[in-house]
Amino acid sequence: MEPQAALNEIAFLLEYDLAPRFKVQAFRRAASAIEGMTDAQLRERIADGRLARTKGIGDRTFQVITQAVEGGVPDYLVALRDRRPELPDSPLAEELRGDLHTHTEWSDGTVPIAAMADAATALGRECLAITDHSPHLTVANGLSVERLQQQLSDIEEWNQTTDDGAVTLLKGIEVDILEDGSLDQTREMLGRLDVVTASVHSKLRADAPTMTARMLGAVRDPATNVLGHCTGRLVRGSRGTRPQSEFDAEKVFAACAANDVAVEINSRPERQDPPDDLIAMALDAGCLFSIDSDAHAPGHLAFVALGAARAEAAGVPADRVVTTWPLPRLRDWLASRR
């Protein structure tokens, strides 16, 4: 197979498996190091030793490239394919067209916008919102006004210069819900965005009245489209576990329904947020839902199948999931509160 494709697929599979970032980046660096080289050039560099000495090429990536150039599927890729967990068999997952929560290297993601867009295109997505973090979340390199303006220019350039059939990128943000319920970005910048996903990232152990008031402030803000990972819980993973925040879910979901704000079903395996009982409560409240990957790398985009399976098990109809809607309908809904 094509060596660069083999390296990128390995990186994708490692990302899906939530492998350490340094391990994934080794394969992405190697893919960049051989970009533009033909098989003949690679064979020549393998034979004379230059490839092994090339910056960004290690022992494992050298083996992968060599086996691909020789015409086989690299052993390491075969092993990763064999052990990859089967995605849930979910008809709802087949109906997903978009993803309203993803990150890039502009904040705490691992790759440029173009790499996320290319992966979304390969997965058949119609649209992908780039929603990097807002300024308050400094630990995640949140975007200042100036950096967000620069990013919006890059997104516009992608949409203007890519070929037909490529994913449409939506300009977005995962904006912090501050302690007073306000959104962590200027009104001017919020007004320039297609998608605002609002999430709590700090003081998650606050008492229920405090957290409820905080979330209600964000849900009632006309800029908000999606309430992100509403409980903040962690159920597994390298960061350990974290209990869900306490808040009056009936009040918050009633406000989401009244203000046409979608409740996110966050598909990350370490979040699984909201839990099943809260999905059922939001469904009974009449809420819309957004099944999102919260991807920080291309391989994470596939997580939406996990969220779709949970939504389907809870009885959420496809038409109540905004990420199943055709792009014109989605755009109309997103703009309806601006």
**Per-residue pLDDT reduced to its tens digit, 170-208:** 999 999 999 999 999 999 999 999 999 999 999 999 999
For CATH 3.20.20.140, the residue range(s) in the chain are 91-335
Dihedral sign (CA 207, 208, 213, 214):
positive
Query: What is the model's pLDDT at position 88?
Result: 83
The encoded tokens of residue 155 equal 């997104």
Least confident of 13-22, 264-273, 284-293: 13-22
Query: What is the model's pLDDT at position 174?
Result: 98
Query: What is the model's pLDDT at position 221?
Result: 98
**Class for the domain spanning 91-335:** alpha beta
* 143 CB-near residues (< 8 Å, 6+ apart): 106, 107, 132, 133, 134, 135, 151, 173
**Per-residue pLDDT reduced to its tens digit, 144-179:** 999 999 999 999 999 999 888 899 999 999 999 999
The encoded tokens of residue 327 equal 């792009």
Q: Identify the DSSP state of 126.
A: S
**Class for the domain spanning 3-83:** mainly alpha
Strands (E), the chain: 98-99, 127-130, 168-176, 195-199, 226-227, 262-266, 289-292
Over residues 281-305, the mean pLDDT reads 97
State the pTM of this model.
0.93
For CATH 1.10.150, the residue range(s) in the chain are 3-83
